[in-house]
Chains A and B, each alone.
Chain A
Amino acid sequence: MMLIALVAVPAAAGIVAFFIKQNRLRWGLLLLTSSVHLLLTSMIRLSPQQPLLRGWLFLDAAGYLFLGITSLLFFAVSIYGTKFIDKNRHRIDRIFTSCLLFFLSTMTLVTLSHSFDLLWVAVEATTLASAPLIYFHRHRNKHSLEATWKYLMICSVGIALALLGTFFLSIAAAGTGGGARDGTGMALSNLLQNASSLNADWLKAAFLFLVAGYGTKVGLAPMHTWLPDAHSESPSMVSALLSGALLNCSFLAILRGYQVCVAAGQGAFAQEVLIAFGLMSMGVAAVFIIRQSDYKRLLAYSSVEHMGILSLSVGIGGKAMFGGMLHAINHSMTKGMLFLVSGNILAAYGTKHVKLISGMFKVLPASGVLWIAGLLAITGSPPFGSFISEFIILKEALDTGHIWIALCYLIFLVVIFIGMATVMLKMVQGATHDPQTDNNLPTTVQVESLWSIIPPAVMAIAVLLLGIHLPPFLNEHLLEAAAVLNIR
């Protein structure tokens, strides 16, 4: 029942929110829903769930990991968004609030889906729920129109390919007798059970289509082209959710395909594919991060990089899987926090151009400090959590003899570190702008609302703590998640 509540509560709240006229009340409902969602998510762990609907809905350790990330991030974003309520009455409208809630509901459904066709429905639904969110700044300029159109078209076409992959998978299963006529043929548990008799060729084709299709949504290069546009044009809280939650959820869809491949003895093939996409994504991100002129695009390309790292970690396998799962948490928290801070910067300076921004330490002291903390965390510097996870992946790559992969991985990480550091350090340092040359830019200390500082600060501290001490329960859970994905 709790599984259904997790999906139904935000969906119902989304419908109700559409009919509430008062801004405060509507946002209050969103805050309430996100707290309930977080509460339910933490309670589920205490009471293990049975598969529901003939195994269609089931929460395993991997799904729970991504559900937890989504729920936490959504909670942080909903608190951050509170600052907009008082500032401007028209900023957050009904459609926006409703779509945020639907977005939460559909992402939850992705993490709970234990059947490939339901998974497809859920992932496509996340695209539809988030498209209006990206389109939020429609009154400001035409760019949001462009970003939304690209997002819709590229992701819809990509996900259509994933549907074809899903059908391929069921053809692979059809000969086994496990592809029963009672509608459970595409359930993950069923496929895993009959894995040994799956048709290998169709399974490989299916996996390729699944990776290409869902990979579009994950932002793996070369299907990432919608990602920088969508992330830079949407409101910062939406960018945080897209990057920290949506990309992960779509990655889970690829992991489900990987799970079947491993069970069917095609793990090596799947790993090669994931390594190729992972390295390509890191390389493309590195190229575009250098001399990037827009700091939100910078963060977006960094997401492409980190999705590449996740993909690579699964490709390397072994302990790297554990590192990858840990890295997913680190990346989501750090990137969510960075996008929220970028919202503060955008609000104060009114521009996304790196060149026009300097002296953040003087103008936005708290955001400036968080921006630097975020820079260190996202580039994997000690003592932040991402250092640990990236190190585990590197060590496993070396231990398993993937020397060249490890070398490329290191080079890309260093290039990206330099690229991000030059851009982001320039923004915080230096003098404030001369008020006579450009009147629009702030020169004095701005008042930063607590709503906009506390959520990113808490997330930064969490990532820092993860680097210093990994709590035993989390360690255990990550091990379990990595094990679930690798059952032969």
Chain B
Amino acid sequence: MAAYADTLLIFLVLSNFFLLGSSWLTVYIRLVSIQGVILCLLTFVFHKGDIGFHTITLAAGNGLLKGLVFPLLLMRAVRAVHIKREIEPLVSYGTSIVIGTLSFCISMWLGAGLPLPIPVVSSLVVPVTLFTILTGLFLIVSRNKAITQVIGYLIMENGIYVFGTAFTLDAPLFVELGILLDIFVGIGIMGIIMNHISREFDSLNVSKLSDLRDWTS
């Protein structure tokens, strides 16, 4: 099982690097979808002992939402605003990859240093999840389009989710579904606001949203 887990986690790392290096929004969205599928499979791998109602619902919920529903919603948003690429990122793609590599090294180092009180399926779990969270955070701060920020938030959530399931921290099903529902509604509201941003400004650049500040007079 550990081998499967390692393979999936490595795929997760690769998808993060693709995210950092690409400028096409459709590529971003496909990668979100791929991560959704990876999450779904990882849920099964991590819960190998007890594949019951709980595990299946959780895996299916995550797979459906993150693998299918969110990508479809995001695709619709992209088509609606006729934007294909993230053109002027605050940090260029080359630099992004370098920063990604650095943060991967830091994650590996941190992951190796953290003593875990409980056994875990694969030693890659902590570094990879940390790296995924960092990638999401980096996308949020370094990209200019509202949609890329939403994608960054999703990637970050993915990292946190994998961390949670890897330790099979058993929250009851209704809490796990509550978490999923929160994320779902959150993305929904972000989608609506994004739609309004594009209508209002004819672009999805959040740099347009910079009127509110102190000491303007």
Decide whether A and B assemble into one complex. Answer: yes
Pick the contact of B196 from A138, A152, A174, A294 — CB < 8 Å?
A138
Binary contact track A283-321/B, C-beta < 8 Å → 1, others 0? 000001001111001000000000000000000000000
Query: Chain A contact residues (Cβ within 8 angstroms of B): what range?
Result: 35 or more
Is A118 a contact of B140 with CB atoms below 8 Å? no
Given A171-B117, A293-B216, residue A128 in contact with residue B167 (CB < 8 A): no
The complex places the Cα of A170 from the Cα of B175 at a distance, in Å, of 14
The complex places the Cα of A291 from the Cα of B190 at a distance, in Å, of 34
Binary contact track B7-48/A, C-beta < 8 Å → 1, others 0? 000000000000000000000000000000000000000000
User: Which A residues are CB-close (under 8 A) to B178?
Assistant: 118, 121, 125
Is A292 a contact of B214 with CB atoms below 8 Å? yes
Is B186 a contact of A156 with CB atoms below 8 Å? yes
The complex places the Cα of A152 from the Cα of B189 at a distance, in Å, of 9
The complex places the Cα of A115 from the Cα of B172 at a distance, in Å, of 11
Given A121-B179, A152-B186, residue A145 in contact with residue B117 (CB < 8 A): no
Given A149-B206, A152-B190, A164-B133, residue A124 in contact with residue B214 (CB < 8 A): no
Is B179 a contact of A175 with CB atoms below 8 Å? no
Is B153 a contact of A125 with CB atoms below 8 Å? no
Interface residues in A203-248 by Cβ distance below 8 A to B read: 228-229, 232-233
Interface hit among A7-15, A180-188, A440-448: A180-188
The complex places the Cα of A291 from the Cα of B196 at a distance, in Å, of 33
- Judge whether A355 is part of the interface by a CB distance below 8 angstroms: yes
Is B209 a contact of A149 with CB atoms below 8 Å? yes
Pick the contact of B211 from A146, A172, A181 — CB < 8 Å?
A146
User: Which A residues are CB-close (under 8 A) to B164?
Assistant: 163, 167
Which applies to chain A's interface (DSSP): helix, strand, loop or mixed?
helix
Binary contact track B143-177/A, C-beta < 8 Å → 1, others 0? 00010010001001100100110010111100100
Pick the contact of B171 from A147, A152, A186, A297 — CB < 8 Å?
A186
- Among residues of A, the one whose C-beta sits closest to the C-beta of B140 is A157
- Judge whether A148 is part of the interface by a CB distance below 8 angstroms: yes
- Judge whether A103 is part of the interface by a CB distance below 8 angstroms: no
The complex places the Cα of A297 from the Cα of B171 at a distance, in Å, of 40
Pick the contact of B189 from A131, A229, A232, A355 — CB < 8 Å?
A131
Is B212 a contact of A288 with CB atoms below 8 Å? no
The complex places the Cα of A92 from the Cα of B172 at a distance, in Å, of 38
Binary contact track B112-132/A, C-beta < 8 Å → 1, others 0? 000111100000000000000
A-B CB contacts (within 8 Å), total count: 121
Pick the contact of B169 from A121, A142, A170, A199 — CB < 8 Å?
A170
- Judge whether B75 is part of the interface by a CB distance below 8 angstroms: no
User: Which A residues are CB-close (under 8 A) to B197?
Assistant: 145, 149
Is B186 a contact of A146 with CB atoms below 8 Å? no
The complex places the Cα of A115 from the Cα of B156 at a distance, in Å, of 23
Is A297 a contact of B211 with CB atoms below 8 Å? no
- Judge whether A202 is part of the interface by a CB distance below 8 angstroms: yes
Is B118 a contact of A146 with CB atoms below 8 Å? no
The complex places the Cα of A133 from the Cα of B95 at a distance, in Å, of 39
Given A145-B197, A153-B140, A171-B116, residue A160 in contact with residue B160 (CB < 8 A): yes
User: Which A residues are CB-close (under 8 A) to B217?
Assistant: 293, 355
Distance to closest chain B CB from A239 (angstroms): 14
User: Which B residues are CB-close (under 8 A) to A138?
Assistant: 196
Is A181 a contact of B170 with CB atoms below 8 Å? yes
- Among residues of B, the one whose C-beta sits closest to the C-beta of A159 is B182
Distance to closest chain B CB from A103 (angstroms): 13
Binary contact track A124-138/B, C-beta < 8 Å → 1, others 0? 110110011001001
Distance to closest chain B CB from A118 (angstroms): 6
User: Which A residues are CB-close (under 8 A) to B190?
Assistant: 152-153, 156
Is B137 a contact of A183 with CB atoms below 8 Å? no
- Judge whether A120 is part of the interface by a CB distance below 8 angstroms: yes
Is A125 a contact of B182 with CB atoms below 8 Å? yes
Pick the contact of B185 from A128, A160, A174, A179 — CB < 8 Å?
A128
Is B209 a contact of A145 with CB atoms below 8 Å? yes
Is B209 a contact of A146 with CB atoms below 8 Å? yes
Is A167 a contact of B160 with CB atoms below 8 Å? yes
Pick the contact of A163 from B118, B179, B185 — CB < 8 Å?
B179
User: Which B residues are CB-close (under 8 A) to A167?
Assistant: 160, 163-164, 167, 169
- Judge whether A143 is part of the interface by a CB distance below 8 angstroms: yes
- Judge whether A150 is part of the interface by a CB distance below 8 angstroms: yes
Is A291 a contact of B179 with CB atoms below 8 Å? no
User: Which A residues are CB-close (under 8 A) to B115?
Assistant: 201
- Judge whether A390 is part of the interface by a CB distance below 8 angstroms: no
Interface residues in A186-206 by Cβ distance below 8 A to B read: 186, 199, 201-202
The complex places the Cα of A292 from the Cα of B214 at a distance, in Å, of 7
- Among residues of A, the one whose C-beta sits closest to the C-beta of B194 is A149
User: Which A residues are CB-close (under 8 A) to B51?
Assistant: none
Distance to closest chain B CB from A400 (angstroms): 34
The complex places the Cα of A355 from the Cα of B149 at a distance, in Å, of 37
User: Which B residues are CB-close (under 8 A) to A396?
Assistant: none
The complex places the Cα of A160 from the Cα of B170 at a distance, in Å, of 18
The complex places the Cα of A148 from the Cα of B172 at a distance, in Å, of 32
User: Which B residues are CB-close (under 8 A) to A120?
Assistant: 179
User: Which B residues are CB-close (under 8 A) to A132?
Assistant: 189
- Among residues of A, the one whose C-beta sits closest to the C-beta of B165 is A167
The complex places the Cα of A236 from the Cα of B16 at a distance, in Å, of 42
Binary contact track A101-121/B, C-beta < 8 Å → 1, others 0? 000000000000001011011
- Judge whether B53 is part of the interface by a CB distance below 8 angstroms: no
User: Which A residues are CB-close (under 8 A) to B210?
Assistant: 146
User: Which B residues are CB-close (under 8 A) to A157?
Assistant: 137, 140, 153, 156
17 extra interface residue pairs, beta carbon distance < 8 Å, beyond A118-B178, A142-B201, A146-B212: A117-B171, A117-B179, A128-B185, A138-B196, A145-B200, A147-B212, A152-B186, A152-B193, A153-B140, A156-B186, A170-B169, A171-B118, A182-B170, A186-B171, A229-B212, A233-B212, A291-B215
Q: Can you report 15 A-B residue pairs in the complex whose CB atoms are below 8 A from each other?
A: A117-B179, A124-B182, A125-B178, A142-B200, A142-B211, A143-B211, A143-B212, A150-B212, A156-B190, A157-B137, A163-B164, A164-B133, A171-B116, A297-B214, A355-B217
The 8 A-B residue pairs with the shortest CB-CB distance, nearest first, are A175-B117, A121-B178, A146-B209, A183-B172, A124-B182, A229-B212, A174-B118, A170-B169
